[in-house]
Structure 1
Amino acid sequence: MKRHIFKKMIAAVLFIVFLFAFSIQNVRLSYQPLKEAWQSSDFHFASLKETISKLDHTMNETVYEKFKFIEAYGFVQAVMDKNEESNFEVVKDTEGQLHYTYFTNKPNPTSELTERVSNLRSQITNQHVKLSYMLTPDKYIRGYTQFPLGIPYNYSNETADQFLSELKQIGVDTIDLREGLRESGIPTQDLFFKTDHHWKIETAFWGFGQLVKHLNQIDGNKLDPTGFYTNIDNYNKIEYKNAYIGSMGRKTGKYYTGADDFTLIYPKFKTDYEFMFKSNQLGGTLNGRFEEALLTTYPLRMDGNDYGLTGDKYFTYLYGNQAFVHIQNKDKKDGPKMLFIKDSLAVPLISFLSTVCSDIYLLDPRYYKEDMAAFINQTELDHVIISFSPQNLVTEFFPFGVKP
């Protein structure tokens, strides 16, 4: 009996020592970020909840060896053959692809979004500027993707169908990149990253070709009459095996579903660009070839074990999501001038589209807080394209076109 009690005491002491050491490491790691979060907080009573949330988020993001715990948890879930993690925050389909989803039984309403697009169109004073909506595809591919029993579907495609129908009714040009996706020549299981909600770079390049075809049909611009710029054979392709862990993989750990391959695509032909960006009062300008001005190589140097945002290889293109971007193609001075109000799925597609345009401007409504209609009216443009993926058809992404 005494020996049994002694073993329990030793186990308890070791557990307490572990907790004490772990707490010390957390204090060392979290002290400076917590201090910065505290100092940047507004301590008015109305913002108390926001301050507490900010501090809680900082603590959760700076846990010592956080991703080791995530990997261990994900490994256990994989061994148990679980198809969801963290109360359905991330789910797995029958092909092993990860998805964001939620419980619902019908599409989301979109009439307010349609009205805001209509209002933006009425605010554009230059009648020669065309307005289009480009819908990038959802990872849930109809006719292919299947969820195991009990996994909810969020009706994102049905929401998108409803929204596009409303836009067509008010005369807004639409480009639906879900159409023809399974006939793209890319294996269906390779259209999207399995650990991320983004399409693969090869799929984005296909989308670039589809957009060029559509613009030629409605504008007659003949952006690429010989098919040179939309021919993948005229681009370098570098493949990084098991090198990418996407946003969902960073929540589940790489042992839950594995890591993704990543392909970097950039022109073989001569290019000359100026790339200017602004975000959070920071900004900069880069000049040079496509790969010098429009790509950042830092994420490519991070291996598949990196879980940080700095290792997000998808954001190799255009340095990720910036509040404002201006891309100037110095070799296409007579090309069209375009503006995109967009989310992250459009980023690599726009990078490739820059090869046939003179100027491309990007506004991200999550970070750009100025008047978008005013910017459009003050800028020489031929075309404005709004582009949000089906899961982003929510008012947060449509702050423009709001009547005072």
Structure 2
Amino acid sequence: MHNFLGKKRITAFLFILVLVTLSVLNMIQSFGPIKQTLTSRDYDISETKGLIHQLDADINEHVFEKFGFVEAYGYLQSLMWKSEENNFEVVKDMEGKLHYTYFANGPTYTKDLSDRVAALGAHLAPQTKLTYVMTPDKYVRGYTTFPEGIPYNYNNETADGFLANLEQDGIDTLDLREGLLESGIPAKDLFFTTDHHWKIKTAFWAFGQLVNHLDGMYAKPLDPDHYYTDIHNYNVIPYEDIFIGSQGRKAGKYFAGADDFDLIYPKFKTNYSFYFKTGETEAALNGRFEDALLTTYPLNVQGATYDLTADKYFTYLYGNQGIVHVVNKDNPDGLKVMFIKDSLAVPMISFLSTVVSEIYVIDPRYYTGDIMDFASKTELDHVFVSISPQDLVEEFFPYGAKN
């Protein structure tokens, strides 16, 4: 009996010691972010809820060896052949690709959002055209299937209703979900396994579809010889097992593995100026496509698998910026266009820069100005709105709301 009680005391002591050690390590890990939050906030009583929320986020984001625990948990789930993690936050389809999903009873109502796009169109100068470019959802109709019991979020059906509303309002649309399975890209290679974005080759295909669509709207073709839309005129540099995307960062690399990443940039001569600004951060670059529009930091950084700054998808246009201005100095007489977009469109926009004169890019989440005012006061031939099916929510349409 004495030995039994002694073992229990030792076990309890070791358990408490582990808890105390982890607590101290977590306090050390999160001390800096917590201090920064506390010193940068005004202690107004109305801000208490927001302050608590931010402190909670600081602690959760700076857990000691956080991703070690994530990987261990994901590995255990994979050993049990599970197709979901963390109460269906991330799920696997039958092919093993990860998805964000949730339980839904049907499509989301989006008439208010389509009305905002129509209001934007009415606010543009008479000579400026407007097109909505619907990028595809990772759940590819006719191909993707979920295991039994995995919820479906009706993103595609929501997008269908949204586009139907736009067409009723006379807004030009390009649905890139159409023809996706006939693109020549194997269906399994259209999207990353661990990320919600399409692969760069898929974005390049979409660039070609967009050019074809525009050629039907303008007397002068953007790429009459099909030179710029031919991938054989581009370098394609493969990086194997290098990318763990946003979904993989939540589930760990042992749950779904790692993705390959293709860096695509022109073989032909290019000359650009590039400017971006987000908040107080801004930068300007000049040079070839690969010097001005690409950052190779995410591809070269070592030991930062789960670091958001090392996200390979953000190689193009330095990721999501509040406002971007790209000038193709070799095509001064080309179209001047503007994109209001989410992250899926970024590489497609990069490739489009080869056949136009200027591109303005605005991300509604990070741009603090008046989008409609900017679009109406800037000399533009064409405005594109490109928000993917999963992002058809109010956050991405902060303009044109009815009073």
TM-score by length of 2: 0.98
Correspondence 1:238-253 to 2 at 5 A: 238-253=237-252
SS in 2 for 1:263: strand
Matched ranges for 1:155-194 at <5 A: 155-194=154-193
CA distance in 2, matches of 1:359, 1:228: 19
| Other-structure match for 1:314 | 313
1:2 CA drift (Å):
2.0
Whether contact under 8 Å (2:275, 2:282) holds in the other structure is yes
Q: Aligned ranges for residues 55-94 of structure 1 at < 5 Å?
A: 55-94=55-94
* Secondary structure of the structure 1 residue equivalent to 2:216: helix
- Separation of aligned partners in 2, 1:40 and 1:401: 33
Output the CA distance in 1 between the equivalents of 2:163 and 2:140.
17
Alpha-carbon distance between aligned partners in 2 of 1:275 and 1:59, rounded to the nearest angstrom: 36
Query: Cα distance, 1:384 vs. partner?
Result: 0.1
Counterpart Cα distance in 2 of 1:257 and 1:3:
46
Structure 2 equivalent of residue 377 of structure 1:
376
| Residues 259 and 304 in structure 1, CA contact (< 8 A), matched pair in contact too | no
Q: 1:216 to 1:347 in 2, by over 3 A?
A: same
Aligned identity (percent) is: 60
2: CA distance between counterparts of 1:326 and 1:185? 32
Match of 2:234 in 1: 235
Query: Is 1:264 paired with 2:249?
Result: no
- Residue number in structure 2 paired with 1:147: 146
Give 2:12's aligned residue. 12
Q: CA RMSD in A?
A: 1.1
Deviation of residue 304 (structure 1)? Answer: 7.8
Letter in 2 for 1:71: E
Q: What SS does the aligned partner of 2:246 have?
A: coil
**Total equivalences in the alignment:** 403
Q: SS at 1:356's partner residue?
A: coil
Q: Secondary structure at the match of 1:204?
A: helix
Aligned twin of 2:38: 38
Q: In the alignment, does 2:370 pair up with 1:367?
A: no
Gaps in structure 2 of 5+ consecutive residues: none
Paired residue type of 1:3: N
C-alpha distance in 1 between matches for 2:218 and 2:275: 27
- 1:384 is paired with a residue of what secondary structure? strand
- Residue 264 (structure 1) shift: 0.5
2: CA distance between counterparts of 1:163 and 1:23?
Answer: 48
Could you tell me how far apart the structure 2 residues matched to 1:403 and 1:325 are? Answer: 28
Match of 1:24 in 2: 24
Instruction: Check conservation: 1:327, 1:354, Cα contact below 8 A.
Output: yes
Residue type at the aligned position of 1:366: R
1:305 CA displacement = 6.1
Q: What CA distance in whole angstroms lies between the structure 2 residues aligned with 1:375 and 1:114?
A: 20
Q: Look up the match of 1:341.
A: 340
Give yes or no for contact 1:366–1:397 (8 Å, CA) kept in 2: yes
Which residue identity lines up with residue 72 of structure 1 in the other structure?
Answer: A
Aligned to 2:206: 207
Partner in structure 1 of residue 222 of structure 2? 223
1:326 aligns with: 325
Measured in 1, the distance between the counterparts of 2:243 and 2:200 equals 12
Q: In structure 2, do the counterparts of structure 1 residues 172 and 304 end up closer, same or farther at CA, with 3 Å as the change threshold?
A: farther
Displacement, 1:83?
1.0
> What is the rounded CA distance, in whole Å, between the counterparts of 1:330 and 1:68 in structure 2?
47
- Give the match for residue 95 of structure 1: 95
Deviations 1:279-319 (A, max 9, x none): 01210101111111001111001358610101100000000
Moved more, 113-122 or 317-326: 113-122
- The residue aligned with 2:106 is 106
Counterpart Cα distance in 2 of 1:49 and 1:103: 28
SS at match of 2:343: coil
CA deviations 1:201-230 (Å, max 9, x no partner) are: 010000000000000012233000001100
SS at match of 2:238: strand
AA in 2 matched with 1:266 = Y
Deviates more, 1:11-20 or 1:73-82: 11-20
Change in 2 beyond 3 A, CA 1:220/1:4 = farther
Deviation at 1:402, TM superposition (A): 2.0
What's the counterpart of residue 136 of structure 1? Answer: 135
Q: Point out the more displaced range, 332-341 or 369-378.
A: 369-378
Q: Which amino acid aligns with 1:134?
A: V
Distance 1:7 1:78 in 2: 34
TM-score by length of 1: 0.98
Letter matched to residue 96 of structure 1: G
Does the aligned pair in 1 maintain the 2:304–2:310 contact within 8 Å? no
- 1:50 and 2:29 correspond: no
Contact 2:249/2:306 (CA < 8 Å) preserved in 1? yes
